[in-house]
Amino acid sequence: MDDSGGRPYSIGNNARLVPYDPDSIDLFFIGDGDLSLYLIPSRVIGGRVGLLLRTYNKYIVGNAAGLMTPRSSVA
C-alpha cells in the first residue's frame, strides 16, 4: 500500500493524512518495489489517502529494471 495523501506540516510526521486535491495535481508518477512505473491521473484516485497499486495495472507505463543493469564501458 502506498500513502497517496499528504500530511500538513507537523513535527514528527504524526499528523493525519489528508487527500491530495485532484484540482491541484494532474498526475501521480509512482515506482513500486517490483520496479513497475505507474502514471495515474489524480481524478482516478482523488479523495484517497492510500492505494493498493495492483488495482491500477492499466496505468503501468513501463518498468525501471533496465535502469538497474550495468552498462558496458565503451573504450
pLDDT value at 36 more than 90: yes
Mean pLDDT of 38-54: 89
Residue 31 grid cell:
515506482
HSE (CB half, 13 Å, CA atoms) of 62?
6
Sign of the torsion angle spanned by Cα atoms 9, 15, 16, 17: positive
Mean pLDDT of 10-33: 80
What pLDDT does residue 1 have?
44
Question: pTM for the whole thing?
Answer: 0.68
pLDDT value at 70 more than 60: yes
Residue 74 binned pLDDT confidence (cut-offs 50, 70, 90): low
Say what percent of the chain tops pLDDT 90: 39
